[in-house]
Amino acid sequence: MDRNVELIRITERPKPPRPEEIPLRFSETAVQELDALVSHYPDKKSALLPALWLAQREYGGVLTPEAIAEVALRLERSYAEVEGVATFYTMYNKQQMGKFMLEVCTNLSCMLCGSYRLLEYLEEKLGIRLGETTPDGLFTLTEVECLNNCGDAPVMQVGDVYCRKMSVEKMDALIDQLRGSDEHSVTRLADAIVNIQLSAADKARIASEHE
C-alpha cells in the first residue's frame, strides 16, 4: 500500500461533538437574528439554510463541527441532519478559507471570454492552484458555475461583490486593492445573505434592543 496516501479507517472516523457539550459562540445579536429568521418559517427545521449562513458568519467563514453542532442545538435537530445539509451545498465552507475568496466563473460565456486564462494567471500570480489558499491566508482561489452575469463576462465574485469584465490589468489592480483591505469577504457574504432575509421590522427590533 502506498505510504504517501492518507488513509482514514472507518472505525477511526472522528466522532462529531455533542451539541450539548460545546461552547456556544453565537453572539447575542446572532441569537436574536436566528429567532427572527425562525419566525418566518412554519418550524425551526425550515430555517436550516439561513441558520447555516449565520453560523458561517459567527465562526469566521467556516462551518466547523462545532458550528454545525451549535446550529443543531439551536434548531433542535440532530447533528447528522445538519451536517448532511451543510455538506450537500458547496456554498457552505467546511474548511478554512482565505480572507478573500476569489470565485472565478468558468461557465460558457465566461469561458469563451477568457476566464480560464485568468485562472491560470491568478495561479501564477498567487503561487497556488485551484482550491488552495495562499500561505499568508489572504486568498483562496476557486472555480464556480454561472454567476448569472453573462453580459459582463468574464466575471469573478469576491464576497458579496461581482467583479465584471475582468482582464489581467483589472485583476492586478483588484489584488492590490484587496491586500490593503481590512474586510473579510467570506464573512461579509454570509452577513449580507443573513441580512437580506431579515425584514426591516426585524432589524429595527434587534437594533432597539441594543440601544
155 close to 147: Cβ distance less than 8 angstroms? yes
CA distances from 102 to 126, 166, 190 (A): 11, 12, 15
pLDDT above 60 (res 2): no
Instruction: Please report the pLDDT score of residue 172 as a whole number.
Output: 97
Report the candidate in 36, 11, 184 with the shortest Cα–Cα distance to residue 98: 184
Residues ≥6 apart with Cβ < 8 Å to 98: 133, 134, 137, 138, 139, 140, 186
Instruction: Please report the pLDDT score of residue 53 as a whole number.
Output: 98
Q: How far apart are CA 43 and CA 56, in angstroms?
A: 21
pLDDT above 80 (res 10): no
Helix/strand/coil for 89 = coil
Q: How confident is the model at residue 211 (pLDDT cuts 50, 70, 90)?
A: confident
101 close to 90: Cβ distance less than 8 angstroms? no
For the packed helices 168-179 and 115-126, what is the interaxial angle rounded to 10 degrees? 40
Q: How far apart are CA 16 and CA 38, in angstroms?
A: 25
What average pLDDT does this structure show over 112-136?
96
Q: Which cell is 83 given?
A: 451536517
Q: How far apart are CA 6 and CA 25, in angstroms?
A: 32
Structure confidence by residue, pLDDT tens digits, 132-183: 999 999 999 999 999 999 999 999 999 999 999 999 999 999 999 999 999 9
Cα 101–104–107 angle (5° rounding)? Answer: 145
**Structural domains for the chain:** 14-94 (1.10.10.1590), 100-181 (3.40.30.10)
- For the chain, what is the mean pLDDT? 93
Q: What is the radius of gyration, based on Cα positions, of the chain?
A: 19
Structure confidence by residue, pLDDT tens digits, 31-81: 999 999 999 999 999 999 999 999 999 999 999 999 999 999 999 999 999
Q: How confident is the model at residue 1 (pLDDT cuts 50, 70, 90)?
A: very low
- Dihedral sign (CA 146, 148, 154, 157): negative
Residues ≥6 apart with Cβ < 8 Å to 108: 146, 150
Instruction: Please report the pLDDT score of residue 63 as a whole number.
Output: 97
Helix/strand/coil for 77 = coil
Instruction: Please report the pLDDT score of residue 144 as a whole number.
Output: 94
